[in-house]
Amino acid sequence: MFAATRAGVMVKKAGTAVPYRYWRIYVTLLNSSGITIGLEEIELRGTVGGADLTTGSTPVLVSSYLDNGEEGAYPGSGTVDNIVDSQFSIWFSAGGGPPHWARYDLGTAQSVAQVAIKPGPSTTYCPRDFIVQGSADGTTFTDVKAFSGVSAWSGWQAFTL
Ligand SMILES: [Ca+2]
Ligand SMILES: [Ca+2]
């Protein structure tokens, strides 16, 4: 990640992934003027096309989630349970419009090269403008890469950082 210059100063090498313990998808605009975000699954991949660094037990904190009591809840953990195409395994936000965010705790600092997203059943739940961010402490985040004007999609779509 760092290379020593001839003067011995450590400088960040351009294009080299920085490892973070916490990763956050920060969504500022949804497709088609959507208000509620709905994501079936997220993968944080250590390499492009590689293995998902999240597991079903990865802690997920979200900005808000829909809870209909006995009729079901839709927390952020629905995005790491490896279940897709099930209405009971989706994160749905509650209340008003974006920003919406989901924060993943990988336990240790790890590099993420690609984020793959499987959105909910309607394209209005699809992120359009969003930022992938990293953090060492889970509170103060650094923007890793911003995506904007992304067209709606329905299957998996991968975003390389
Ligand atoms: Ca997964
Ligand atoms: Ca799921």
Alpha-carbon distance of 19 to 94, in angstroms, equals 31
Rounded to the nearest angstrom, the distance between the alpha carbon of 86 and the centre of ligand 1 is 15
CA 107 – ligand 1 centroid, Å: 15
Q: What number is the average pLDDT over the span 55-73?
A: 96
Share of the chain above pLDDT 90, in %: 84
Residue 17 in this model has a pLDDT that exceeds 60? yes
User: Taking residues 93-106, what's their average pLDDT?
Assistant: 96
Read off the pLDDT band of 42 (50, 70, 90): very high
Q: What is the pLDDT of residue 63?
A: 98
Residue 12 confidence (pLDDT) above 80 = no
Question: What was the pLDDT predicted at 87?
Answer: 85
Residue ranges of domains in the chain: 18-160
What is the chain's alpha carbon radius of gyration, rounded to the nearest angstrom?
16
User: CB–CB of 44/115 below 8 Å?
Assistant: yes
Measured in angstroms, how far is the CA atom of residue 39 from the centroid of ligand 2?
A: 8
Residues 6 or more apart whose CB falls under 8 angstroms from that of 111 comprise: 1, 17, 18, 19, 46
